[in-house]
Each structure stands twice: as C-alpha cells, then as structure tokens.
Amino acid sequence: MRLWVLIFNTGSDTEGIYTLLVGGKNTVVAFADEDDAIRYSGLLEAQDFLCPTVEQIDEQEIVEFCEGAGYELSIVQSGELAIPPEQNVEKTDWNPDGDEEENAPAIEDSAIEMMRRRLEGLL
C-alpha cells in the first residue's frame, strides 16, 4: 500500500519527516490519501509552521523506518479528519540549516540516512 508523508527540505542532506509527540514518543503521521496529506500540509502552513512537501512512500518502507528510528506510526485513513495540534513544539528536533548537534544520537543519523536513500529510490 502506498502512503503519503510530510517531508521538510526535500532532496537535501537535511530532510526531516513530520511527527507528532504522542505520549512522549515521536509518531510519524502518514496518510492513506494524497488529498488528505495535502490538506494537512496546508493547515500546518496556515499555522505559520514550516511548509512540508507531500511525498509518496511504500507502507513497508515507512514501517521499517519507524522501527529503526524508534518512532511510532499513525496512518490517517482516507476521509478521516486529521487536524494539526494548535500548539507546536518550541524547538524541533529537525535543523533546516543542517548543523548537527554534538549530542545527537547516532541512531537518528542512520535512520535519517536510511529514509533519504529510500526517498531517493522513489525518484
């Protein structure tokens, strides 16, 4: 099954994937319907949040990515109403300038690299 996810800084070394913090865990939000993903992206932009790009990905790939990175996965089914939270985190884990923090866990780097390679493979 194909899903759509929200990616920041697409095609660069500093790509990031949209997640929600649910119960203290990062949860990747994926959409079964492209239109729902586009709508959600627009809602984020309307909240003055960073504007993500909607990217298609195979369900198995995103499941493997989440398992490797220690993230949860939430799939918004077609027609299901998903609305971004009113408040966003003050500081994101993602750095659009690509400056790596000295204390960043190695697993996050490898998970991001794995996701980047998979996304490049879709092109």
The more confident residue out of 52 and 96 is 52
Cα–Cα distance measured from residue 69 to residue 87, given in angstroms and rounded to the nearest whole number: 24
Helices 59-69 and 106-122: crossing angle in degrees, nearest 10, is 170
Averaged pLDDT, 59-83 = 93
Average pLDDT value for the chain: 81
Instruction: Give the pTM.
Output: 0.70
